[in-house]
Amino acid sequence: MLARSAQGLYWMGRYLERTEHLCRLLRSQTAALVDRPIEEIHSGWNRIYNSMNRMPPVGGLELIDSDEFTLADSYTLTDDLTFERSNPDSVWSCLSYGRENARQMRHYISGEMWTHLNLSYLRMQEIDILSIWRSSPENFFSQTAAEMDTLVGIATATMYRDEGWHFMQLGRFIEGAQLANSLLLGQLRHEPNTRAVPEADWMALLRDYNAVETYNRRYGIEVHPDHVLDLIATDEYLPRSLCRSLDRAARELNALGPGPNEKSSAAAQRLSGRVRALIHYDWPDNDDHKRMLRQASDYCRQLHLLISETYFNYPVEALAAS
């Protein structure tokens, strides 16, 4: 497969995974505006922006004891994360980038995939923040997240299982691992030094990962931050857990095999094993979870760079030698 094609499919998977992830966060956050306390709404916005390492357009997120200010800020923040075209991580931007990569790779994806993705993209062009805010913004985010999930199902049912499939899947799972890392770190970064984060914040994190029922079955109804971290970081059966994303990424790397750049290919395999061991084996014996998540985040960034060097941006000499 051409390096350009492999890179396009890889980034298509990443952008579409990012779109779905942000829609899940915004679905929970906008739903909280209806009846949740101001403190919980404020914490939710802090968690999202901390995880994205992005400054809010209002300059800072100060807790003001007023429903009117809270709703006005939430309107602005939702617009920034959804329709702001200058924000490369907004829902609009990620869906547009994913669709553009898919357009260029149409000969590798199925017609059903392209049709579904293009319809989602065209729907996004016809709406703005005012149109979704007038009715029910959480329904918009639920629908968009469901469209991304449906796209994954269509790809699973219709896409040919060649290298293109594995590159797209690799992009999805690398992105999923980085997003899980960033969100957990964003949660811990927002945690005040003098008191525990309110239980509602951790419950919101469980809802973001569709893990409330799983948590209740395993730990009961009382929410403990350490248990929430353990579940989202290390549960190999939770669909979007950090552990499962890393395991699936390693499986896709193995399926692709060595790339033209054999040195970086071997390094990527070693690093993939190292970050998986960190979560599988080191996590239970180490109480400094914030440090471990930072290390895992660094490993994931390095792994992305090694994948690029192995399959996309390798020197011509490496191709000639292979």
Could you report the per-residue pLDDT of 304-314, keeping only the tens digit for each? Answer: 999 999 999 88
Give the predicted TM-score (pTM) of the model: 0.92
pLDDT of residue 228: 94
249, burial (CB in 10 Å: exposed 0-12, middle 13-18, buried 19+): buried
Q: Is the pLDDT of residue 100 over 90?
A: yes
pLDDT of residue 1: 80
pLDDT tens-digit readout, 252-282 = 999 999 988 889 999 999 999 999 999 999 9
Q: How far is CA 166 from CA 82, 92, 133, 213, in A?
A: 29, 26, 38, 31
What is the dihedral angle through the alpha carbons of 311, 314, 317, 320, rounded to the nearest 10 degrees?
Answer: 20
> Cβ distance 250 to 303 under 8 Å?
no
Q: Is the pLDDT of residue 296 over 60?
A: yes
pLDDT of residue 317: 64
What is the dihedral angle through the alpha carbons of 183, 188, 191, 194, rounded to the nearest 10 degrees?
Answer: 180
H helix runs in the chain, sequence order = 3-32, 38-52, 67-82, 91-104, 111-125, 129-133, 137-158, 163-190, 199-208, 212-219, 225-234, 242-256, 262-277, 289-307, 316-321
Q: How far is CA 82 from CA 37, 79, 92, 112, 145, in A?
A: 23, 5, 6, 26, 12
67-82 and 91-104 helices cross at what angle (nearest 10)?
Answer: 10
What value does the mean pLDDT take over residues 25-37? 89
Conformational region of residue 210, where left means phi above 0, alpha means psi within -120 to 50, and beta covers everything else: left
Q: Is the pLDDT of residue 321 over 70?
A: no
Tell me the domain boundaries of the chain.
3-321
pLDDT of residue 56: 86
Q: Is the pLDDT of residue 72 over 70?
A: no
> Cβ distance 293 to 188 under 8 Å?
yes
The whole-angstrom separation of Cα 127 and Cα 139 is 13
> Cβ distance 61 to 42 under 8 Å?
yes
Tell me which residue of 11, 63, 70, 47 sits closest to 208, measured CA to CA. Answer: 47
